[in-house]
């Protein structure tokens, strides 16, 4: 005979569900009303259940959203430590990031994949393709002659106006005519670098950084100088200062201040301003890549461009991660390099085609876009916390993990001496794709790191994949 009070028995019921993974970390708990209906209990009892679970650290209340499962209090990973700023900075003599990335892609495609932690874009189902189709159909019905006319220079006015309005969300107050529409953020970064530097010049970048940026720099015949970057606070402004004093020919610094790739960190507003002051004083361009910013758990943070009074910042962004991976819509605010970037854009690829711009402007003008972003943020948070929890449970001691405040990326430091490339290759053979740390630097500094993208819906299969990955890491580390 059960002598426990009813609320306690119900709390145990949910505790087991959480411990078994049936209710995953960051997942929303059944609502109080659902509990009442399901278990035929009073509202008071249901509320007691929730409070009990909260007291036990199993769930957390979020205002106006209900209760959510917390990551288990069990194993916790130490954060990835800050880099040593005093450590000498290496100018990248190494060339070959293309070969490294090509090898990675070729290897990935050589094996069937059951769990993909390598791709930094959510699966198609996470994006509102039905609504985008409607907007595209409407644009075609109303403006199809735009396919055969002249593409408006600098981008379609309607799209630029909408982007200017949306830029207010990250504190940027710019006119639509200051905006240049590009083929994704990648083209914007190319134009920015071509506008401010020449082949042979040096570009300061975060370390680690997105391999796509290293590829651009290498392809333009420029040199990347990797600046130590904290997984918690972003680029070290002291280290950059030191580099500017000691290294000749630095023309620009490229940073991702909001949800850096691969670290996932967000710079403090104070640091953003310090960085801007330094660049202004040294007369170097500050190229800001804000591809991920809108995916922060708490919504978009302020862009560095927000504080830019002299046109020192070239702001680059795109809809690649947030709205439509394949539509290749990006844009840039070139500051004092605007005209020069527009000239390079014209010489490099001419204006973007207008139909997609009209359609996306139509969609982005609606509340549906805000709802989509909120949904995507929540989904990514849930997936990220789930994977982080699984890593904590299944990876060997000595593994360290950056816990980013948003987005889809996790940056892991493996126990010392564990070769990331071997882990990557072994994991591939087990049907699991990860991005080895070696891809995020021209140096060997991150060879025992991994980047995990948490883009797929989570569940028992995810847990099993992370467990298998943990076994591989353990085996490779011996």
Q: Which residues bind a copy of itself (CB under 8 A)?
A: 98, 102, 119, 121, 124, 126-130, 132-133, 136-137, 140, 144-151, 183-184, 186-187, 190, 194, 198-199, 212, 215-216, 218-219, 221, 324-328, 343-344, 346-356
Per DSSP, helices labelled H in 326-366 are 338-348, 354-364
Report, in Å, the least distance between residue 109 CB and a copy of itself: 10
Give the residue with the Cβ less far from a copy of itself, 190 or 474: 190
For residue 362, which phi and psi values (nearest 5 degrees)? -60, -45
Measured distance CA(153)–CA(269) in Å, rounded: 34
Q: Work out the number of other CB atoms within 10 angstroms of the CB of residue 64.
A: 5
Closest CA to 53 of 2, 6, 11: 11
For residue 273, which phi and psi values (nearest 5 degrees)? -70, -40
Give the residue with the Cβ less far from a copy of itself, 46 or 376: 376
Pairing outcome for strands 449-453 and 250-255:
unpaired
CA 129 to chain centre: 21
Give the residue with the Cβ less far from a copy of itself, 324 or 391: 324
Report, in Å, the least distance between residue 265 CB and a copy of itself: 25
Give the residue with the Cβ less far from a copy of itself, 70 or 223: 223
Give the residue with the Cβ less far from a copy of itself, 75 or 123: 123
The DSSP element (H or E) to which 331 belongs, if any, is strand 329-333
Report, in Å, the least distance between residue 256 CB and a copy of itself: 17
Report, in Å, the least distance between residue 331 CB and a copy of itself: 14
Report, in Å, the least distance between residue 403 CB and a copy of itself: 28
Q: Which residues contact 425 (CB under 8 A, 6 or more apart)?
A: 107
Report, in Å, the least distance between residue 54 CB and a copy of itself: 37
DSSP string, 64-111: TTEEEEPPPSS--PBPPPPP-TTSPPPB-----HHHHHHHHHHHHHTS
Report, in Å, the least distance between residue 18 CB and a copy of itself: 32
Measured distance CA(104)–CA(439) in Å, rounded: 8
Q: Which tokens belong to 90?
A: 């290496």
Q: Which tokens belong to 77?
A: 């990973």
Report, in Å, the least distance between residue 163 CB and a copy of itself: 17
Report, in Å, the least distance between residue 305 CB and a copy of itself: 23
Give the residue with the Cβ less far from a copy of itself, 143 or 467: 143
Give the residue with the Cβ less far from a copy of itself, 277 or 350: 350
Report, in Å, the least distance between residue 371 CB and a copy of itself: 16
Q: Which residues contact 194 (CB under 8 A, 6 or more apart)?
A: 220, 341, 344
Give the residue with the Cβ less far from a copy of itself, 61 or 347: 347
Measured distance CA(240)–CA(207) in Å, rounded: 11
Give the residue with the Cβ less far from a copy of itself, 119 or 278: 119
Give the residue with the Cβ less far from a copy of itself, 128 or 437: 128
Q: In degrees to the nearest 10, what's the CA dihedral of 218, 450, 113, 184?
A: -40
Measured distance CA(227)–CA(88) in Å, rounded: 10
Cβ–Cβ < 8 Å for 293, 258: yes
Q: Which residues contact 86 (CB under 8 A, 6 or more apart)?
A: none
């Amino acid at each position: 005979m059960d002598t426990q009070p009813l609320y306690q028995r119900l709390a145990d019921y949910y505790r087991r569900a959480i411990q078994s993974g049936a209710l995953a970390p960051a997942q929303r708990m059944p609502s109080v009303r659902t509990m009442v209906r399901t278990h035929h209990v009073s509202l008071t009892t249901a509320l007691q259940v929730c409070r009990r679970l909260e007291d036990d650290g199993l769930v957390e209340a979020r205002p106006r959203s209900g209760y959510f499962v917390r990551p288990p209090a069990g194993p916790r990973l130490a954060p990835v430590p800050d880099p040593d700023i005093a450590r000498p900075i290496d100018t990248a003599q190494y060339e070959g990031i293309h070969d490294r990335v090509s090898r990675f892609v070729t290897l990935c495609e050589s094996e069937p994949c059951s769990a993909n932690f390598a791709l930094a874009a959510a699966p198609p189902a996470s994006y509102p393709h039905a609504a985008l189709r409607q907007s595209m159909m409407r644009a075609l019905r109303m403006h199809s002659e735009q396919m055969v006319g002249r593409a408006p220079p600098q981008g379609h006015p309607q799209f630029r106006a909408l982007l200017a309005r949306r830029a207010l969300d990250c504190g940027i107050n710019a006119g639509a005519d200051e905006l240049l529409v590009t083929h994704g953020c990648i083209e914007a970064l190319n134009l920015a670098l071509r506008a401010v530097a020449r082949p042979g010049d040096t570009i300061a970048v975060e370390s680690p950084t997105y391999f796509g940026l290293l590829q651009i720099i290498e392809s333009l015949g420029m040199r990347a100088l990797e600046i130590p970057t904290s997984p918690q606070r972003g680029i070290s402004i002291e280290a950059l200062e030191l580099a500017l004093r000691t290294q000749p020919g630095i023309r620009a610094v490229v940073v991702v201040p909001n949800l850096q790739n691969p670290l996932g960190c967000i710079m403090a507003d104070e640091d953003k301003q310090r960085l801007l002051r330094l660049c202004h004083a040294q007369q170097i361009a500050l190229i800001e890549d804000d591809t991920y910013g809108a995916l922060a758990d708490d919504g978009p943070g302020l862009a560095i461009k927000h504080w830019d009074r002299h046109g020192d910042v070239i702001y680059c962004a795109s809809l690649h991660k947030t709205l439509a991976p394949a539509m290749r819509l990006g844009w840039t605010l070139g500051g004092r390099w605007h005209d020069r970037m527009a000239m390079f854009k014209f010489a490099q690829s001419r204006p973007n085609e207008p139909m997609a711009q009209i359609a996306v402007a139509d969609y982005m003008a609606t509340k549906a876009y805000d709802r989509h972003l909120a949904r995507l943020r929540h989904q990514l948070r849930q997936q990220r916390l789930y994977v982080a929890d699984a890593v904590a449970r299944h990876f060997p001691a000595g593994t360290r993990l950056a816990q980013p405040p948003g987005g889809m990326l996790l940056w892991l430091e493996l126990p010392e001496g564990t070769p990331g490339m071997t882990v990557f290759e072994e994991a591939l053979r087990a049907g699991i794709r990860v991005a080895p740390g070696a891809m995020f630097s021209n140096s060997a500094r991150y060879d025992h790191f991994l980047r995990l993208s948490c883009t797929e819906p989570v569940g028992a299969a995810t847990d099993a994949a992370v467990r298998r990955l943990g076994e591989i890491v353990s085996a490779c580390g011996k």
